[in-house]
Amino acid sequence: MSGHSSLPQKRPAAFAVMLPVRLPRSNLYLDRSGGGGLFIWQTGALLLAIFLGSVATAQVQATAAQASVLGVLLKWTPLLAQGFLYNLVISVVAMLLGTLAGVLLGLARVSVRAPVRGSAWLVVQFFRNAPWLVLLFFIMFLMPFEVTIGQHTIPLPAWLKSTIGLSLPVMANIAEIIRGAVRSIPSAQWEAARSLAFNRRQILWQIILPQCVKRMLPAWMNWYAILTMATTLASIVGVSEVITTVGYVMAAEARTDLLIPIYCYVLLWFFLYCYPIARYTRRLEARFAER
C-alpha cells in the first residue's frame, strides 16, 4: 500500500496525445503579420493623451492668477521649435559627416592590405564601443575652439564640435554596415567583373557599392533615427538645443506644474519625427527580405 501512496499525485502526461483536444485560445505567437508596425496611431494617440492629461492635471492645480498651461506651452512653442530645429540640423550634418567618413572607413575594412584592414578594425571597435556621451565630452574638451590654417582662423562653435562628436560613433557603425553589405554581395559578381577586366577600384565603385546602397538603406535610416535621439546629449555639453531650451523655459516660468506637460510635449515631437522613420525602415526591411 505504501508503494501506492508514494506515487506522485500529479503524473506527467505520458500520453498527452490521448488527451481530449484542447483548442488553443488564440494564435499564440502564430500571428506574425502585425510585426510591430501597426501601432503608429495608437502610440501617437497614447502620447497625445498623456500630454493632454498632464496639461489638464497641471491646469487643475494652477491657481487662477496663473496663465493656462496650454497657453504657456503655445507661447514658448516658437522657441522650442527653434531648439528642435537645432537638433535636426545637428542630426543631418552629423549623419552626412558620419556617412562620408564611414564609407571610407568601411572600404578600409574590406581592403586587401592587412595593415589597413587591421587599423580600420581598431578604429571601428574603438568608436563603436565607447559611450556616445564620453566621445562627446572628448571632442568638446579636447578640440580647440578655433583652428588656424595659414592666414585664416576658422572658429569651431560648440554646436559644430558636438556634431563632430556625434558623427564619430555613426561613422564606426556605418563602416560596419558597409562591410556587411559588401560581404553580402555574391562573390560571383566579383569574379564576373574581374573576368571583364575591371580593376578592384572599378569593381567596388561601379559594381559592388551601387548594389550595396539598397541593402544598406534600412540600417542607415535606423542609425539616423538613433542619431536624432542622441542629439539631445548636446544639451549636457551646453548647446542650445531643445532640452536646453526646456531648461530656459522652466527657469523663465518657474512653475513646477509645467514639468510633465513640457517634457511630454518634447517627447511627442521626437516621437513624431523618429517613429515614421523607424516604421518606414521596417517596411523597407520586410520588402527587401522577400526578394
| Beta bridge pairs of residue 148 | 153
Shortest approach of another protein to residue 40 CB, angstroms?
8
Cβ neighbourhood burial of 70 (10 Å; 0-12, 13-18, 19+): middle
Please identify, using beta-carbon distances, which residue of 102 and 165 lies nearer to another protein. 165
Tell me the C-alpha distance between 190 and 202, whole Å. 11
Please identify, using beta-carbon distances, which residue of 99 and 222 lies nearer to another protein. 222
Shortest approach of another protein to residue 103 CB, angstroms?
22
Please identify, using beta-carbon distances, which residue of 133 and 252 lies nearer to another protein. 133
Shortest approach of another protein to residue 242 CB, angstroms?
9
Shortest approach of another protein to residue 227 CB, angstroms?
11
Shortest approach of another protein to residue 39 CB, angstroms?
4
Shortest approach of another protein to residue 139 CB, angstroms?
10
Residues 6+ apart with CB under 8 A from 260: 54, 57, 58
Contacts with another protein by CB under 8 A lie at 13, 16-17, 19, 22, 24-26, 28-30, 32, 34, 36, 38-40, 42-43, 46-47, 125-126, 129-135, 137-138, 141-142, 225, 229-233, 235-236, 243, 256, 259-260, 263-264, 266-267, 270-271, 274-275, 278
Residue indicated by cell numbers 548594389 = 211
Taking CA atoms, 279 is separated from 19, 276, 283, in Å, by 44, 5, 6
Please identify, using beta-carbon distances, which residue of 48 and 97 lies nearer to another protein. 48
Please identify, using beta-carbon distances, which residue of 156 and 207 lies nearer to another protein. 156
Please identify, using beta-carbon distances, which residue of 6 and 27 lies nearer to another protein. 27
The DSSP element (H or E) to which 76 belongs, if any, is helix 69-109
CB 257 within 8 A of CB 62: yes
CB atoms within 10 A of CB 17: 6
CB 239 within 8 A of CB 159: yes
